[in-house]
Amino acid sequence: MIKSFSAATREIDDVGAAVAEIKEALNLEKNMLKNSLGIITCFSEFDDTGVLKAICETLPFDCIGATSCLSSAGGETDQIIFAITVLTSDDCTFQTTVIPITESYGENIGSAVSEMFKKSGDKPKLLLSYFPLINTVGCDLILMEIDKASGGIPLFGTVAIDHTVDYSTSKTILNGAAYREAVVLGAIYGNPNFSFDMASLDESKIRKQKAIITASDNNILTGVNGKSVPEYLEEIGLTKDEIANGLNIIPLVVDYNDGTKPVARAIYALTPEGHAICGGSMPVGATLALGRLTASDVLSTTEKTLQVFVERNATLLAYSCMSRYVALGMENSAEAEKVIEIAGNHPYLLASSSGEICPLLGEDNKLKNYHHNFTNVLCKIS
């Protein structure tokens, strides 16, 4: 069985005060069992001021996580906040690793995962995963390599994000060290209970008009129904201004036709050639439709999903896409407040994300790992 407890601080400049506040709130002597793992989400400047490192150095267990532009735990929600949820157990164990994403990232991932399994003499039941937001390697490619190395162990987690325009300070975290170009994994061994769900787009806001992806290169979409991406988008009614300025908030809903739920994909940019750089793989032959996301959709889909998902004595981990944060406008903490309202006294951690990692159940009744956009992914652990 896994239990948890949380703490948060807004002390970004005073290292001593921040450490004292976290230690007092966590009350480790009372709450910590034999084995523990800290899960962190924080504003990126907590790394610059030394607070992140100082807090992790004072804790007697490994800590993993990522930066975010909005974090929530223990009923506290803010942009400029450090939040930690500690998983603790007498019969489950935890292990962590950091994997540099270089040109040989596939070899790095294979070696790191193999070494992790070798140390434990067993395979974990769940991998908590924190990916970097970088231009050189897409998240789907990283996910595929971890899948290959692990044999398809369920992956759940987030892609780092921050508050800057170019996301240049977004980092993954392991034990107080923050990384721009590295994956951080936390493995859970034993017999934990866990399950997944996600709040995505309102199905009524997805166009009925479907298309087929006819040309692509992994996450680069180059052809839809035999036309270029701009030609297809104009054909279905988008204006040139919408295509030029608003694509990153228009979800592409992709059905892989493999029995899993369709996934939402963001368009990050259009190249001069009219190719769409997307937030995940866009395989040839997949079915494509356009969706729409509004503030009311964000809150209604999260509420509907959580009401049947939250469970007494289970820890809730939630990572919600940056697009949902943007859609909420001035009320950008409303989704976190909805989580607090429904979760009640149940332990939870929520953070904004630039990409969400969560398995889906296929038609063979087996979990398959996916990278998502426009989604609030949920994992409950006990």
pLDDT tens sequence across 341-378: 998 888 999 999 999 999 998 778 889 999 999 999 99
3-class DSSP state of 171 = coil
Tokens representing residue 5 in the block: 């407890």
Cα–Cα distance for residue pair 84/11, rounded to 1 Å: 14
Higher pLDDT, 85 or 274: 85
Phi, psi of 46 (to 5 degrees): -65, -25
Cα–Cα distance for residue pair 56/15, rounded to 1 Å: 12
Cα–Cα distance for residue pair 216/194, rounded to 1 Å: 35
For residue 76, the Cα-to-chain-centroid distance in whole angstroms is 20
Alpha helices in the chain (DSSP H): 15-26, 28-31, 45-48, 51-58, 105-120, 139-150, 229-235, 240-245, 295-309, 322-327, 334-343
Contact 126, 153 (CB under 8 A): yes
Residue 118 has a pLDDT of 87
Examine the pLDDT at 267 and tell me if it is beyond 90.
no
Residue 268 has a pLDDT of 79
pLDDT band, very low/low/confident/very high, at 26 (cuts 50, 70, 90):
very high
3-class DSSP state of 61 = coil
Tokens representing residue 155 in the block: 């992956």
Cα–Cα distance for residue pair 55/39, rounded to 1 Å: 12
Over range 6-30, report the average pLDDT.
Answer: 97
Residue 201: which residues within 8 A CB-CB, separation 6 or more? Answer: 251, 253, 264, 291, 292, 293, 297, 301, 374
Mean pLDDT lowest for which of 54-58, 177-181, 255-259?
A: 255-259
Residue 2 has a pLDDT of 97
For 181-208, the pLDDT digits (tens) are: 999 999 999 999 999 999 988 888 888 8
Examine the pLDDT at 214 and tell me if it is beyond 90.
yes
Cα–Cα distance for residue pair 318/295, rounded to 1 Å: 18
CA distances 233 to 5, 239, 292, Å, are 47, 8, 14
What residue ranges do the domains of the chain occupy?
A: 2-199+297-381, 203-290
3-class DSSP state of 133 = coil
Tokens representing residue 319 in the block: 């990572």
Residue 245 has a pLDDT of 66
Contact 67, 45 (CB under 8 A): no
Cα–Cα distance for residue pair 132/206, rounded to 1 Å: 29
Q: Count CB-CB contacts under 10 A for residue 102.
A: 12
Contact 124, 187 (CB under 8 A): yes
Looking only at the bridges linking them, the beta strands covering 126-131 and 263-265 are unpaired
Over range 88-97, report the average pLDDT.
Answer: 97
Residue 141: which residues within 8 A CB-CB, separation 6 or more? Answer: 105, 218
Residue 345 has a pLDDT of 80
Contact 322, 352 (CB under 8 A): yes
Closest residue by Cα to residue 323 from 254, 378, 382, 246: 246
Cα–Cα distance for residue pair 342/300, rounded to 1 Å: 12
Mean of all residue pLDDT scores within the chain: 92
3-class DSSP state of 215 = strand
Closest residue by Cα to residue 328 from 66, 70, 2: 70
Give 372's strand partners.
Answer: 356
Over range 76-99, report the average pLDDT.
Answer: 97
Tokens representing residue 111 in the block: 């070696």
Alpha helices in 51-104 (DSSP H): 51-58
Cα–Cα distance for residue pair 214/17, rounded to 1 Å: 57
Cα–Cα distance for residue pair 74/344, rounded to 1 Å: 10
